[in-house]
Chains A and B, each alone.
Chain A
């Protein structure tokens, strides 16, 4: 048992030095991109897959019918082509989110849903009764002008990436 008594502590000390160096390299040396806002987290802009495969509505702006929907016109599963399949009831497994369980059973006749039963759902209905008591209009005319910076967020129709940039919401987000 005559190995170095302090070898373990020495390795620990070296590791702590390495951790410190990593911290300095990461946080001090690398330029800091986004300054943290003073109040809480501020807004994080998550563009979900805006670059991928044309999900932005550039292709869908001619929203009407045919153009842009690639390849699906060929297969029309709703056309009743499927013959007499008996009705099938599928019980979904419990969507086990920690935020509530959701379980639905769905009865299909062919490809048409003929019945739906909700077996479990996070109980949101209760809130809607309380909501009307809490929605309060803010009426002053000057508030309706966006320049007055009194609005926390904006509800509008689905944004395209371009529309978003121009929108008020974007201004709010940047303001933090």
Chain B
């Protein structure tokens, strides 16, 4: 990672630009409201007398932790159910990010719940915690399956932690991740059948079951049923596979009613090739051009197991796509002038974005970073014009002796950068460098848009 230093005495021109609008966090409000509802449900279902003994108090708090964890599990699932409302309100990349965040929270809450129930129960029954465990297992309904489900859930959580995730292939990780559904199913029964807040309250049981049923319904609808229907509608197939310079390959898809997908430049799809070796994975691939009436194009770098198998795909292979996703689109631009920075496979979405921005009348400067001149994929498609200036920047930083994206170089290349929106896509390190440089040159945070390549 480049260390950023600020030059002393950088002159930052004062620019007026419309203040970027903040997105109203409707989704956050909904989740908070739900959490408060769960809290209220616990409150009114727990008599104050329960807390007169420490064991009773701990057990009651353990139940609260369990209720919150169970509710947040539904939120977690809904985040990745690919519900269109969430996608437009929050954005696909942030949905995944929050799904991961909540995963940590939920696993920790579940473990807290288990601990509190054991300790609380042990105090109530005057047993050691060690003896309380078999006691509870023998007496509470469906507790054995809840234990198995919890263990599975924790295992899935551990496998998704950053350290472990790196050691697993995507397929192995995903297969393990799918067992979450089993874990949730196993742990559900002990809640409504054994939970003291549910046992005598038919309404509460009904609401809880409906919550889970609605979540399952959302998943089945938007992750299974609708993509299958779309597949039948569009009949996408691989049309051609074209190498695009070192390490990058373009895949052309053809099909019907492609325009109905309503994809914009900069967006991505989850692409699943229906052929041996590719069935199991849906990869996020960004469009590298705005779709025409009958064609889509993705330009893919060699990342992960499957991307390296992509050049060997045969034309005619059927393809299932879900999307479009992503908010890395031309609509986000807040100024008439725009700077686009592409690195590696990031040139794909930048190329598609440029098409939309040009069509909308923006003035573009495109900086294209690559290791060497042969790796400047799609360079020929950036036709220079009055509205488009294309600047290739090949060469490793070690060979060049400097960093082409250093703030001073950037200011030299693009003197009016402070007046431009910045769209950057490429490796993480490059994005961080560009964002830091742009900020230091006076570009407001709301005018910088980024897309990480997963």
**Do A and B touch directly, given a CB cutoff of 8 Å in the complex?**
yes
Interface residues of A (CB under 8 A from B): 1-5, 7-9, 11-12, 15-16, 18-20, 22-23, 26-28, 30-36
Interface residues of B (CB under 8 A from A): 39, 42-43, 46-53, 56-57, 60-61, 64-65, 68, 97, 100-105, 108-109, 112, 162, 428, 431-432, 452, 454
Tally of contacts, chain A with chain B, CB under 8 A: 82
Q: Is the CB of A34 within 8 A of B49?
A: yes
Q: Is the CB of B109 within 8 A of A1?
A: no
Q: Is the CB of A26 within 8 A of B46?
A: yes
Q: Is the CB of B103 within 8 A of A8?
A: yes
Which residue of chain A has its CB nearest to the CB of B432? A2
Q: Is the CB of A20 within 8 A of B432?
A: no
Q: Tell which of B46, B52, B105, B112 touches A8, judged by Cβ atoms closer than 8 Å.
A: B105
Q: List 17 A-B contacts (CB under 8 A).
A: A2-B428, A2-B431, A2-B432, A3-B101, A7-B104, A8-B101, A8-B102, A11-B104, A15-B68, A19-B61, A26-B43, A26-B48, A27-B48, A31-B48, A32-B51, A33-B49, A36-B53
Residues of A within 8 A of B109 (CB): 12, 15
List of 6 A-B pairs having minimum Cβ-Cβ separation, nearest first: A27-B51, A8-B104, A8-B101, A12-B108, A12-B105, A7-B101
Residues of A within 8 A of B104 (CB): 7-9, 11-12
How far does the alpha carbon of A125 sit from the alpha carbon of B65 in the complex, in Å? 45
How far does the alpha carbon of A11 sit from the alpha carbon of B100 in the complex, in Å? 12
Q: Is the CB of B97 within 8 A of A3?
A: yes
Q: Report which residue of A26, A33, A35 has the largest number of chain B beta carbons within 10 angstroms of its beta carbon.
A: A26
Residues of A within 8 A of B42 (CB): 22
**Chain B: minimal CB distance from A139 (Å):** 36
How far does the alpha carbon of A107 sit from the alpha carbon of B452 in the complex, in Å? 75
Q: Is the CB of A22 within 8 A of B52?
A: no
**Chain A: minimal CB distance from B403 (Å):** 19
List 10 additional A-B contacts (Cβ < 8 Å) besides A2-B428, A23-B60, A36-B56: A5-B162, A12-B108, A15-B68, A15-B105, A19-B61, A19-B65, A26-B48, A27-B51, A33-B47, A36-B52
How far does the alpha carbon of A3 sit from the alpha carbon of B102 in the complex, in Å? 13
Residues of A within 8 A of B68 (CB): 15, 19
How far does the alpha carbon of A8 sit from the alpha carbon of B102 in the complex, in Å? 6
Residues of B within 8 A of A36 (CB): 49, 52-53, 56
Q: Is the CB of A27 within 8 A of B57?
A: yes
Q: Is the CB of A22 within 8 A of B43?
A: yes
Residues of A within 8 A of B105 (CB): 8-9, 11-12, 15
**Chain B: minimal CB distance from A48 (Å):** 13
How far does the alpha carbon of A20 sit from the alpha carbon of B51 in the complex, in Å? 12
